[in-house]
Structure 1
Amino acid sequence: MRHNISILINLLIIQGLAVLVVSQGFDFFYFVQQWPGSYCDSKQSCCYPKSGKPASDFSIHGLWPNYQDGSYPSNCDPDSPFDQSKISDLAGRMQEDWPSLACPSSDGLIFWSHEWDKHGTCSEFVLDQHDYFATALNLKKQVDFLQILTNAGINPNGEFYSLESIKDAIKGATGYSPWIECNIDESSNSQLYQIYMCVDNSGTNITECDVLPHGKCASEIKFPSF
């Protein structure tokens, strides 16, 4: 009996250490913001949150731990599920800066739960659940993409802009190169969808990206209205 208990304890310790290693071992975060006009201006369309139409501004998609080889950890701790009560003081900011546009219309909890379970749990030995969401919200405040682009004469008016001009505007304002993800509108135009910035593994400092996701935009891309 004692032998079996000892084996069980050892297995639990090994499992716990494995979670710890995976959670602490990532190299950097991708901080990703999306343009709601491009999310909605596609074949999948969108549904506004129950709180109403979001502001015409970039919104947070996620804060994602990654490795330098281009892979990433995911779903690192099933014993640490999303708990709404842990971010109750952030509710107003979450609704404003991290809304869900998925259908059917929702209050965002499914979206936030997915982001925490898949990505946040892989950083929880650096950022607990509250700090994970607060860090992303603070990064958005630090990097105002809409203001940066409009200052450069790049406006969400349905016009086309060169991909390089968008990258140059963001690098000029932040000091770091972004990675731009495009999607396709209903007329098959390439459009500005998401902007990635790299952040160190403390979630504190924006850094230069040494590894980039896969994907390609046209040289001229649409910036749709919202």
Structure 2
Amino acid sequence: MKHHLSFIFKLLIILNLSVVCLCASESEEEFDFFYFVQTWPGSYCDTKHSCCYPKTGKPASDFGIHGLWPNYKDGSYPSNCDPDSVFDKTQISDLVKSLQKSWPTLSCPSNEGFKFWSHEWIKHGTCAESVFDQREYFEATLKLKEKVNLLQILKNAGIKPDDEFYELESIRDAIEEATGFTPGIQCNVDSSRNSQLYEIYMCVETSGSEFIKCPVLPKGRCASSVQFPKF
């Protein structure tokens, strides 16, 4: 009987340790790569919802950053990983001008951008706290924008924001030829239900500094020919 109780006691300890280990592994769960996502402002604004320019004025006619999003290879993604994390604008005070230029908000009502950046940090950035603190997250994302000039790449291929329609394959090929990597492309529709170039996804390795081949591409709802609207 004594031996039996001793066995049960040992078994309970092993099971308890297993649960502790499982919880630890789940809390330290890592992501596989980042999506670096840029938005074409002409397509954001050219919908029935329209847009509002930020308080600093109309943004440049260029792709703007949407975010840097941790992702898993199966297509799922973590979000809101640290409910205790609070966005602290003082940590990015020296980056604000760069953010307003490269990561502008177009949401309504008109604002300075802090709400947009706060959302991106809390939803996505907190899931990369093993790599970045808040300031490093925004700094690394801005550096990625400097590494790939999507608008110039497309213009070099004769694809311009002139309200004309371009073959989706031509857009994808131009970016792949210039960067070495196949992008993900998302489209939205204007009030006339035209499919238009909306967002471009590039994949980045987990340190957040180098582009890589995408383990999985987002499923874009694009027509074979898409409009590239003016802005």
Residue 80, structure 1, aligned to residue 88, structure 2: no
Match of 2:142 in 1: 137
Residue 113, structure 1, aligned to residue 118, structure 2: yes
Question: Share of identical aligned residues, percent?
Answer: 64
Decide which of 107, 113, 124 is 1:102's aligned counterpart: 107
Alpha-carbon distance, 1:216 to partner? 2.0
Normalised to the residue count of structure 1, the TM-score between the two structures is: 0.90
Local SS of the residue matching 1:181: strand
In structure 1, what is the Cα distance between the partners aligned to 2:211 and 2:79?
A: 22
Match of 2:59 in 1: 54
Match of 1:177 in 2: 182
Decide which of 16, 25, 33 is 1:28's aligned counterpart: 33
In structure 2, what is the Cα distance between the partners aligned to 1:103 and 1:141?
A: 27
Change (3 A) 1:200 1:216: same
The residue type paired with residue 45 of structure 2 is C
The residue type paired with residue 88 of structure 1 is S
In structure 1, what is the Cα distance between the partners aligned to 2:129 and 2:83?
A: 12
Match of 1:203 in 2: 208
In structure 2, what is the Cα distance between the partners aligned to 1:179 and 1:81?
A: 31
Extract structure 1 runs of 4+ deviating beyond 3 A.
16-20
**Paired residues, what number?**
211
Would the aligned equivalents of 2:35 and 2:69 in 1 still touch at CA under 8 Å?
yes
Match of 2:224 in 1: 219
Gaps of 5+ in 2: 1-19
Match of 1:123 in 2: 128
In structure 2, what is the Cα distance between the partners aligned to 1:157 and 1:77?
A: 42
User: Over aligned residues, Cα RMSD in angstroms?
Assistant: 1.5
Match of 1:4 in 2: none
Q: Deviations over 1:12-56 (max 9, x none)?
A: x99x9578513xx00000000000000000011000001000000
Local SS of the residue matching 2:146: helix
Alpha-carbon distance, 1:124 to partner? 1.0
Alpha-carbon distance, 1:215 to partner? 2.9
Change (3 A) 1:106 1:61: same
Local SS of the residue matching 2:97: helix
The residue type paired with residue 28 of structure 2 is V
Match of 1:5 in 2: none
Q: Deviations over 1:36-91 (max 9, x none)?
A: 00000001100000100000000000000000111100001122211100111101
Gaps of 5+ in 1: 1-12
Match of 1:9 in 2: none
In structure 1, what is the Cα distance between the partners aligned to 2:48 and 2:24?
A: 44
Greater radius of gyration (CA)? 2
Would the aligned equivalents of 1:19 and 1:77 in 2 still touch at CA under 8 Å?
no
Alpha-carbon distance, 1:204 to partner? 1.1
Normalised to the residue count of structure 2, the TM-score between the two structures is: 0.88
Local SS of the residue matching 1:100: coil
In structure 1, what is the Cα distance between the partners aligned to 2:83 and 2:149?
A: 33
Decide which of 26, 29, 46 is 1:41's aligned counterpart: 46
Match of 1:194 in 2: 199
Match of 2:12 in 1: none
